[in-house]
């Protein structure tokens, strides 16, 4: 009996030793390095870096670095694409299936691949249906406003159409004697000037029954309509509805103006509220869908991936990169990231996410339709910079709305032809 017992103990000991060796072997498989590039800035960039540190603690054989170059991100990525030397993991900032599609590894085999928000899943998949990125969050975009400012100026929401919106802008300017900026735009960072055009283009061209979706996609769009559209926004500028320092103001200036009650509306999505609360924790924010452009249409939300990570298909560290995406896709990590910016998750998780001030508004407007972000879905890759540049030039009087439309048409046709080739 003693010999049998010793034999059993030896087997148990051997199995236990084997188990330890297997576990160690599995841990040793994750050895190497990763480079992760993100276009995130501020709090969200810091959170990605914090989560990356946690990933390395779980995988001591891995050295991974998060690079967040801010405003230079797109230019840096263009250089890397040209040299075919991409980071192991990188953010696609809305251009997964167009600009970056040839560089991305299909992710259909990932456990979370079937839990993507359906509104924009097609926009982050290639023509063969291959999923290209992990969307950590989704930007369900509407119109963010300072509640106290609107109440002070007697503006009632929701503003259901563009006429309501224009009337509200005038009311804010008049009631405050010009002390409150109806809309604050950080044109010193370039891209914010394009935001109002891109967001309002959705109700102007894609949401009504008689919409231009097919014409925008097949090349038959009548660009005279763009002239009419930008002329409306030009009139907002001419009437003094924007901040006077629109061409030099930075994103931080928009957050401060919103936080201190000097601005009513901002065009950045929910994240501006979290930035503003660093300055004034008591700022009261509201959210409504975008106003309809036409009287016979309804309000709408924009919807698209905000922070989305893909893997370079030629990376030498694909297994580690997949493990990093799996780590980011954990419910608690999605929750931490999304709650930092009051945005909804891009994938379904078993961990509830509190989107803060936006919760009551998403509940209130739960039946409102969502549409993909205009330039991502209906314009060829490469037009965003022109939208921003010509918008600024139109405001300064350098070009007319007609010239803006002609520039857009020429670039649109050139890029469509280039993409076909």
**Is pLDDT larger for residue 20 or for residue 220?**
220
Quickly tell me which residue has 């989107």 as its tokens: 355
Instruction: Identify whether the C-beta of residue 25 lies closer than 8 Å to the C-beta of residue 322.
Output: no
Give one DSSP letter per residue of 113-178, joined into a string.
GGGB-HHHHGGGB-TT--B--EE-EEEEE-EEEEHHHHHHHT--S---BHHHHHHHHHHHHHHTTT
CB 305 within 8 A of CB 344: no
Parallel, antiparallel, or unpaired: how do β-strands 89-91 and 32-37 relate? Answer: parallel
How high is the mean pLDDT of the chain? 91
Tens digits of residue pLDDT in 4-59: 333 433 333 333 333 333 333 344 578 999 999 999 988 899 999 999 999 999 99
User: Domains in the chain, please, with CATH?
Assistant: 29-140+305-361 (3.40.190.10), 142-303+366-420 (3.40.190.10)
Cα–Cα nearest to 178, from 155, 197, 153, 160:
153
Which residue has 């950045």 as its token pair?
A: 268
Q: 345 — phi, psi (to 5°)? A: -65, 150
- Residue-wise pLDDT for 144-179, tens only, equals 999 999 999 999 999 999 999 999 999 999 999 999
Q: At which residue do the structure tokens 């259909």 appear?
A: 108
Q: What is the structure's pLDDT at 15?
A: 34
Q: How distant is the alpha carbon of residue 402 from its chain centre?
A: 30
| pTM flag (> 0.75) | yes
Dump pLDDT digits (tens) for 385-405. Answer: 999 999 999 999 999 999 999
Of residues 273, 276, 243, 271, the one with CA closest to residue 259: 276
pLDDT value of residue 28: 56
* Nearest residue to 173 (alpha-carbon basis) of 240, 236, 238, 234: 240
């Amino acid at each position: 009996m003693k010999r049998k017992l010793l034999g059993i103990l030896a087997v148990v000991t051997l199995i236990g030793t084997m188990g330890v060796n297997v576990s160690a072997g599995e841990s040793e498989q994750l050895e190497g390095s990763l480079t992760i590039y993100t276009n995130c800035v501020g709090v969200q960039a810091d959170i990605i870096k914090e989560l990356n540190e946690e990933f390395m603690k779980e995988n001591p054989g891995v050295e991974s670095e998060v690079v967040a170059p801010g405003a230079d991100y797109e230019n840096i990525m263009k250089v890397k694409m040209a040299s075919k030397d991409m980071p192991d993991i990188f953010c696609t900032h809305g251009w997964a299936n167009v600009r970056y599609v040839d560089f991305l590894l299909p992710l259909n085999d990932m456990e979370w691949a079937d839990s993507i928000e359906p509104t924009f899943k097609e926009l982050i998949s290639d023509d063969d249906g291959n999923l290209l990125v992990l969307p950590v969050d989704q930007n369900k975009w509407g119109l963010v406003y300072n509640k106290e400012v609107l109440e002070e100026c007697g503006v009632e929401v929701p503003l259901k159409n563009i006429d309501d919106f224009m009337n509200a802008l005038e009311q804010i300017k008049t009631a405050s004697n010009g002390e409150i900026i109806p809309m604050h735009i950080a044109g010193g960072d370039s891209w914010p000037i394009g935001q109002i055009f891109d967001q309002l283009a959705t109700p102007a061209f894609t949401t009504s029954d008689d919409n231009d979706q097919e014409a925008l996609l097949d090349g038959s769009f009548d660009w005279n309509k763009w002239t009419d559209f930008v002329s409306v926004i030009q009139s907002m500028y001419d009437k003094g509805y924007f901040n006077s320092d629109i061409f030099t103001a930075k994103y931080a200036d928009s957050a401060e103006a919103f936080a201190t009650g000097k601005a009513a509306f901002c065009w950045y999505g929910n994240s501006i509220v979290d930035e503003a609360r660093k300055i004034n924790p008591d700022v009261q924010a509201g959210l409504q869908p975008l106003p309809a452009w036409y009287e016979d249409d309804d309000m709408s939300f924009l919807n698209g991936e905000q922070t989305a990570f893909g893997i370079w298909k030629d990376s030498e560290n694909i297994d580690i990169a997949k493990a990093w995406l799996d780590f980011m896709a954990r419910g608690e990590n999605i929750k931490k990231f999304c709650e930092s910016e009051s945005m909804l998750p891009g994938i379904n998780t078993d961990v509830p996410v509190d989107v803060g001030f936006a919760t009551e508004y998403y509940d209130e407007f739960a039946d409102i339709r969502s549409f993909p972000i205009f330039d991502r879905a209906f314009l060829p890759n490469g037009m965003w910079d022109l939208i921003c540049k010509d918008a600024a030039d139109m405001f300064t009087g350098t070009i007319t709305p007609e010239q803006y439309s002609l520039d857009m048409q020429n670039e649109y046709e050139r890029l469509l032809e280039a993409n076909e080739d």
